[in-house]
Amino acid sequence: MVVVKDYSQVMPFRHEDGARLSEGVTYDIRNDRLLWVDIYNSEIHAIDNVSRDGREGRHMTIKIEGSQGRDSVGVVFLTDDPGIVLFGGKDGIGQWKVGSHEWEYVVKYSACSELAENPDRLQRLRPNDGNTTRDGKYILIGLMNDFNYDVKAIDGCILRISVSKGTVEMVWDGIAIANAVHWDHDEKYVFITDSLQHTIWRCPWDKQTNSLNRNGKEAWIDFKSHNKEFASPEPDGSDMDIANNLLYVTVWSTHRVQVYDITQRNKLVQEIILPVTTPRGSCCCLAGSDLYVTTANDEISDEPVQKGQGGSLFRLLCVADNKATSSKAYLNLH
């Protein structure tokens, strides 16, 4: 039986003027900080004391200005220093001192030999989503074609990056929109979101070597089978309740978040209904029992922003029965 929770009447928790593609929402329990990005506007946002002070908590933002004109920020990564976050930028992995205007690239994607050999392809790509391995040694990040290129082309890939060593390796080539990455409780499997295939793949994972076996991949969740009334239900950003092996997936174009028991193939256990005025849900994260959800604007371009709730951040109260925690590992900076 699928449990349905209706949040269709909830109002935005926060809405930034000019927001385009809010994404990558992440919770850091150490400082009660909520972070998210606007991919198209190339911004990182943070609110401190979000559980205590709500939307009135200290809000910080930084715009990442790139050397290539338009830049973009796809995802943030927590580190072992609560005052520093890493992010996936247009050129590579960047570092931001939270609350300041200081940032710099620490590893470039061009350190990947396959991408360095094809500079035209590298120019087309932008960061989308990713995660840090549980031991804090590596980042797995997906790249996809930028907004002014064909997003359906399979130029995309997944990279494994060591910030401390400065290494960048290709671990999955030929994927159109590589999205969220998560591990199960025991780290036996890694779950790779393949948005345009409407699929989450389960791949065997070797936690000793931090490597995935792509040849052993299985189509684990089929989103078309659970969203037949929608033309293209694409799994987007997600969060893992590690203790209970529950994966919370924001499904693009459906105004819903779906929760899957990843111990079983294609096992949908809960649906969370979002306002119909914001069908482009893009990412979610748990903060205790609450769920934060980012959304995209209907217009993702340089055209004037239409009025509405697109590009908003929503806070859904009492979604889960969880104690305050964070599903994200902290990357070791040294």
Q: Is the dihedral of CA 152, 138, 257, 296 positive or negative?
A: negative
> What count of residues does the chain have?
334
- Beta strands 268-273 and 3-6: pairing type? parallel
Angle subtended at Cα 47 by Cα 33 and Cα 271, rounded to the nearest 5 degrees:
75
206 as an active site residue: the answer is no
Of the candidates 91, 236, 239, 290, the residue annotated as catalytic is 236
> Can you read off the two tokens belonging to residue 222?
């089929």
Tell me how far CA of residue 170 lies from CA of 110, 130, 184, 224, in angstroms: 11, 14, 22, 29
Q: Is 179 annotated as a binding residue?
A: yes
Query: Does the annotation place 256 within a ligand binding site?
Result: no
Is 227 known as a binding-site position?
no
Q: How many C-alpha atoms does 229 have within 13 Å on its Cβ side?
A: 3
Residue 315, marked binder: no
Region of residue 320 (phi > 0: left; psi between -120 and 50: alpha; otherwise: beta)? beta
Burial (CB < 10 A; 0-12, 13-18, 19+), residue 141, is: buried
C-alpha to C-alpha distance for 46 and 59, rounded to whole angstroms: 6
Q: Is 210 annotated as a binding residue?
A: no
Would you list which residues are annotated within the binding site for substrate? 126, 128
Would you list which residues are annotated within the binding site? 23, 126, 128, 179, 236
Catalytic residues: 236
